[in-house]
Structures are given as structure tokens and as C-alpha cells.
């Protein structure tokens, strides 16, 4: 199926394109709200600024796609394969990404507030400046992920794996980190005020230099100060 056929059928009210082969298709700026692309193959498709809000993208293949500035509000991406996809400044507010494969994804400055990412694999993902406020990341795999300057206020990161992740200047105010692996994570300049995390977890971090600790004190090479 080509892009013209899909857009024509969608315009006539057809929403079911589950299982379609759309590899390499160019659908830049298309409005496809509520479309069903369950298990569809969109490998290397050009989807810049597309509107996939409320779309069914469960188990879809979205590897190496360009979805920068796309709208995926409350989209269902459970089990989707997004390896190496580009989602710079994409809006995934409220999206369901449970169990999705997001390895090596570029999510710089993306909006993921209230998104569900439980058990998702975000290894080596670039999330610099991303908004993950009140996002659900229970048991998520974030090994070597880059979360510098990310907003993780109130995020649920319980039992997540942040080994060797970079969280420089990240805002983790009030975040839930019970059982989270922080070994060799870089938390320099991070804000951990009121975060639910133990000293035993934090001692395993690579750096806490300049971080605001859960008690509100600032950590530096000479210890902590108010």
C-alpha cells in the first residue's frame, strides 16, 4: 500500500490498516488520528509532524522512522518496535508504551508526561531535555540512557534499571525510586528533593556533585550543605 491509497481510504472513514506493509512510506504532516496500524510495518517511514493521536500502533514496526515533531497523544504503542527512531520534540503525552522497544531512540525534548513506559527498553535512548513528569517507568530498562536536563518530577521509576545512565541536572523532585538501580549513574547537579530513594542506592552513583539531595541539602566534594 502506498501513502496516497492510505490517505484516500482514511478520508473515506476507513480506520483499519492493521498489518499493512508501509515500509519507507512518506506520510509527513498527515492527520491520521485514531487510525488502526496494529502490527503494521512502517520501517524507515517518513512520519515527520504526523498526527497519530489516539492511534492503535500496538506491535507496529517503527524502526528507523522519522517522527520528529509528531503528535502521539494517548497513542497505544504497547509492544511496538521503535529502535533507532527519531522522535525529537514529539508529543507522546499520555501514550501507552508498555513493553515497547525504544533502544537507541532519539527523544530529545519530547513530551512524555503521564506516559506509561512500564517494562519498556530505553537502553541508550537520548532523552535530553525530555518531559517525563508523572510518567510511569516501573521496571523500565534505561541502561546508558541520556536524561540530562530531563523533567522527571513525580515519575514512577520503581525497580527501573538506570545503570550507567546520565541524569545530569535532571529534575527528580518527588520521584519514586524504590528498588531502582543507580549503579554508576551520573546524577551531578540533579534535583532529588523529596525523592523516594535510599542512601544505599545513591552511594552507588558515579557522581552526585552539586545534586540536591532528598533532604534538600546540596552535595559537593566537601560533603553536604543546606
Weakly modelled stretches of the chain, pLDDT under 50:
none
Q: For residue 4, what pLDDT is reported?
A: 92
Q: For residue 223, what pLDDT is reported?
A: 57
Q: For residue 90, what pLDDT is reported?
A: 98
Instruction: State residue 121 phi and psi, 5-degree precision.
Output: -105, 110
CB 56 within 8 A of CB 78: no
Q: Which residue has the cell 540512557?
A: 145
List, as one string, the DSSP characters of 24-61: T-B-TT-B-TT-B-TT-B-TT-B-TT-B-TT-B-TT-B
For residue range 138-178, list pLDDT tens digits in order: 999 999 999 999 999 999 999 999 999 999 999 999 999 99
Residues 145, 150, 151, 153, Cα dihedral to 10°: 50
For residue range 108-123, list pLDDT tens digits in order: 999 999 999 999 999 9
Q: For residue 219, what pLDDT is reported?
A: 76
| Cross-strand pairs, 151 | 131, 171
Q: Grid coordinates standing for 33?
A: 488520528
Amino acid at each position: 500500500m502506498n501513502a496516497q491509497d492510505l490517505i484516500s481510504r482514511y478520508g473515506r472513514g476507513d480506520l483499519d490498516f492493521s498489518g499493512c506493509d508501509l515500509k519507507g512510506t512518506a506520510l509527513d504532516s498527515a492527520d491520521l488520528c485514531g487510525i488502526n496500524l496494529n502490527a503494521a510495518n512502517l520501517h524507515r517511514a517518513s512520519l515527520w509532524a504526523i498526527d497519530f493521536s489516539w492511534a492503535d500502533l500496538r506491535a507496529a514496526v517503527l524502526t528507523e522512522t522519522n517522527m520528529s515533531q509528531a503528535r502521539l497523544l494517548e497513542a497505544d504503542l504497547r509492544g511496538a518496535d521503535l529502535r533507532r527512531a527519531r522522535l525529537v520534540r514529539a508529543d507522546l503525552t499520555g501514550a501507552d508504551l508498555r513493553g515497547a522497544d525504544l533502544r537507541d531512540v532519539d527523544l530529545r525534548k519530547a513530551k512524555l508526561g503521564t506516559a506509561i513506559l512500564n517494562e519498556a527498553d530505553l537502553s541508550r535512548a537520548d532523552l535530553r531535555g525530555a518531559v517525563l513528569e508523572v510518567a510511569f517507568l516501573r521496571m523500565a530498562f534505561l541502561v546508558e540512557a541520556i536524561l540530562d536536563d530531563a523533567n522527571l518530577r513525580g515519575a514512577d521509576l520503581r525497580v527501573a534499571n538506570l545503570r550507567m545512565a546520565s541524569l545530569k541536572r535532571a529534575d527528580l523532585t518527588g520521584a519514586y525510586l524504590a528498588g531502582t538501580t543507580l549503579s554508576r549513574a551520573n546524577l551531578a547537579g540533579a534535583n532529588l528533593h523529596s525523592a523516594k530513594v535510599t542512601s544505599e542506592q545513591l552511594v552507588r552513583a558515579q557522581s552526585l556533585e552539586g545534586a540536591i539531595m532528598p533532604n534538600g541539602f546540596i552535595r559537593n566534594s566537601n560533603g553536604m550543605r543546606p
